[in-house]
Amino acid sequence: MMLIAGDIGVTTTRLALVSTQTGPRRFIAEQEFHTADYKGLQPVVEAFLANTGGHADAACFDVAGPVIDGRAHLTNLPRDFDEAALCRELKLQHVTLLNDLHAIAHAVPHLLQEEII
């Protein structure tokens, strides 16, 4: 299974393609985009997949703003995201949206000793 992992910020959108076989620390592909250059998340993801020749089955995006009931709003850029709509638009089996600080909290217990400063 291939997963798109994304960090959607007001300035920069970072996307990575991750395989469940190789694990979360070995990206198949990784790319950054200027968020304001795109009218939404779908065109960014489509550009990423086209640029990398990749494909995905699911995605998880952290966003710089609140996430409530599968819907997110970027705090400092007029962008709204919806898990169900992204799932349909990107033809993915599953999409999860997380607040960026919530995503960090999930990641902390999985850090390796050499990743802690």
Give me the tens of pLDDT residue by residue for the chain, a chain 117 residues long. 999 999 999 899 999 999 989 888 899 999 999 998 998 999 999 999 999 999 999 999 999 999 999 999 888 888 899 999 999 999 999 999 999 999 999 999 989 999 888
Phi, psi torsion values for 23, nearest 5 degrees: 90, 170
Give 35's DSSP letter: G
pTM of the predicted protein model? 0.91
Strands 12-19 and 67-68: unpaired
Pick the CATH number of 2-115 from 3.40.50.510, 3.30.420.40, 3.80.30.20, 1.10.287.1400: 3.30.420.40
Structural contact between residues 81 and 97, judged by C-beta atoms closer than 8 angstroms? yes
> In whole angstroms, what is the distance from residue 79 CA to residue 99 CA?
14
Which tokens in the block code for residue 32? Answer: 């950054």
> What does the pLDDT look like over 36-65, one tens digit per residue?
899 899 999 999 999 999 999 999 999 999
Amino acid at 95: V
Percentage of the chain modeled with pLDDT above 70: 100
